[in-house]
Structure 1
Amino acid sequence: MRLVVLRCDAPSISDFSVAPVPPEVHDLPTIPARRDLRVIDDAAFDVLPVDPTPSLDDIAKQPDVAHLGTPQFAPQKPERPLRIVVIGSDAALSAVLTRLMRADNMWAEIGFVPQGESIAATSWALPSDPQEALNFALTQPVRPVPLIRDDAAVAVAGAATITNWDNAEITGEIIVDDHVQIRHEASAKIPRRGIFGARLVPMLDAPGIAAVTMDTPLPGAVPSRGLFPRKSGTVIAQSLSTGRALQAGGLSLRVQVDGTSRKRPVERVTFYRHLRDLQIVRP
């Protein structure tokens, strides 16, 4: 095994004594950029310089959708497996997964050691104690899950949201597969409870996406006008829907993935299940 540890602004995590092989430890920024992640590009090429399995184009041309059913172990079987352990936030993990996805290296094994509150760690039932989580990430086997991405090729680690750019009610439509999640026109005055957007999380199994409707703004978001709800980011429990893809269209939409917002508002966005599954270390 080749073991690469990415410490994303987490220098205090340093006990790798249970690792099966000596790890390569790299200290990176809180949210690593593409240039910071060249190390995993190099490691993947060193372990598997030529991928003998069908390409993404080949998979997309297949007449069935077997690749979108129950998550599968990666078909690539390098003689020396590559495991990448990310120590950091959900946003840091998203950056790493995005880089691996864009380079088509999703066959790499991924361990995650959350720092602070983590939706991804909760979804995967990872240990809450940092050292316990590290030991788990270093030694335990993978269990594949769907990888969810958006149309800008950004991978979702924990959660994504679609809201109004100015934190008002949303005007637009959000559809999960063929189910209308939201079809709404914003009120002139911001209500305490309304339709403020949708939140999605990756599932552990097919179809891949679980989405709910938010009836207040996101935590910390300040509406540009009208009333301020006392508690923000709450969801309408009965609104849960699941599917392989989520499409949204509307006026001045804000798209956030793991807390990181796109730089500009959009009129449409799509999230969908990637053709390759995430090889994550989890219980």
Structure 2
Amino acid sequence: MRGTVLVCGRPGESPQVPEGVAVHALPARPGRSDIDSLLTDALVVVGSDADLAAVALRLLRRERLDATTVGYVPVDRDSAVARLWGLPANPRDALALALSGEARPVPLVRDDAGGVLVGHGVIRQPRGVAYCDDTLALRGEAASITVRPGPAGLVATITRGRLLRRRTVFEGRAFQLGTAPVRPVSDGVPYPRPLERWTWYRHTHDLRLVLPAR
């Protein structure tokens, strides 16, 4: 067993941690003052995708992404991170994996407002121009744009139409949008104010996430 367990936001929902494993209760989406003193070479995050993103951001800021393995125990049944990487749905199984499994590098997506995306981002009803790398992805209106980490860095899906939905998928290292004001949502957290420009892009270092065996 290895790792310091960080229980974020809702400690009552966390699975039973084995004896001898250090556990720290933190607020939801912990920040610098909550977590920096707890950063070690092996962490287990119990919480939401937004909590995992908050921890990943601190690792990025402290330049510890290459030195730290991160296990994840999602408390939300609809966790995009769990779906994306095949993590166990049962919290007890997820904790066992997080404490004893092997870490593999997965893409970490950043945005140009200083945040990170670990699972799912969405922009609703954009109206403007978007590019995925050098490819024109959108000119005009769309019902939504969703972005998730992917092999090349990210995968962006543009959905058009109201009744007959048409989806176009793009893969690349960066997705840039110029639009009428929108509020991007990253891992369930809306940006505080509307913006006319937004970029998601692959960070130069990956997140070392504990994953099921291949």
Tell whether the structures are fold-level matches, with TM greater than 0.5: yes
Paired position in structure 1 for 2:83: 122
Is the Cα–Cα contact under 8 Å of residues 16 and 135 in structure 1 kept in the other structure?
Answer: no
| C-alpha distance in 2 between matches for 1:271 and 1:282 | 24
CA displacement at 1:162 relative to structure 2? 2.3
Paired position in structure 1 for 2:207: 278
CA displacement at 1:179 relative to structure 2? 1.5
Q: What secondary structure does 2:211 align onto?
A: coil
CA displacement at 1:29 relative to structure 2? 1.7
CA displacement at 1:38 relative to structure 2? 2.5
- Show CA shifts across 1:125-175 (max 9, x none): 001111000000000010111111111221111111223xxxxx3211111
CA displacement at 1:279 relative to structure 2? 0.3
- Show CA shifts across 1:232-258 (max 9, x none): xx9633x01100001111110211111
Q: What secondary structure does 2:35 align onto?
A: helix
CA displacement at 1:212 relative to structure 2? 0.4
Equivalent position to 1:176, from 124, 129, 132: 132
Q: What secondary structure does 2:204 align onto?
A: coil
- Show CA shifts across 1:179-209 (max 9, x none): 2221105xxxxxxxxx123100001x2x111
| C-alpha distance in 2 between matches for 1:135 and 1:235 | 40
2:131 partner amino acid: I
2:23 partner amino acid: V
TM-score (norm 1): 0.69
Is the Cα–Cα contact under 8 Å of residues 127 and 140 in structure 2 kept in the other structure?
Answer: yes
Paired position in structure 2 for 1:102: 61
Q: What secondary structure does 1:136 align onto?
A: helix
TM-score (norm 2): 0.89
Is the Cα–Cα contact under 8 Å of residues 197 and 215 in structure 1 kept in the other structure?
Answer: yes
Q: Which has the higher strand share?
A: 2
| C-alpha distance in 2 between matches for 1:215 and 1:28 | 40
Larger radius of gyration between Structure 1 and Structure 2: 1
CA displacement at 1:112 relative to structure 2? 0.3
Aligned residues: 209
Paired position in structure 2 for 1:13: 14
Q: Give the share of equivalent positions with the same residue, in percent.
A: 36
What aligned pairs does 1:148-227 form with structure 2 within 5 A after superposition? 148-163=109-124, 169-185=125-141, 195-203=142-150, 205=151, 207-215=152-160
